[in-house]
Amino acid sequence: MSETAAGASASHPGRETASQVLLVLALVASVVMLFFLPFLFAPPAFLAALVGVSITSKSRRFGLMTTLFATLCFIVGATVAIWGSRPLF
């Protein structure tokens, strides 16, 4: 099983890079979501995280942490926006 995963990543090194880039973009969108328009940045953040995880199986743990962080940022950002009378989207 590990030989298949190692062979797949060796034959497609661009997939690992694309996955990492998408997951980092999701993290950046999550941080922005905390301070500025949470409902605008939530869909791209979650979409980037899900696509980044589905590209390769090597980054699943990083993708899980990214998705959990995006969820937490969305909840906190939306709560602060509602209580602080900031625009939601």
Which among 17, 42, 43 is positioned nearest to 31, based on CA atoms? Answer: 42
Q: What is the pTM of this model?
A: 0.80
For residues 67 and 23, the answer to whether their CB atoms sit within 8 Å is no
DSSP state of 12: -
Write out pLDDT tens, residues 19-78: 999 999 999 999 999 888 899 999 999 999 999 999 988 888 999 999 999 999 999 999
Q: Would you state the pLDDT for residue 66?
A: 94
Residue 60 corresponds to which amino acid? Answer: R
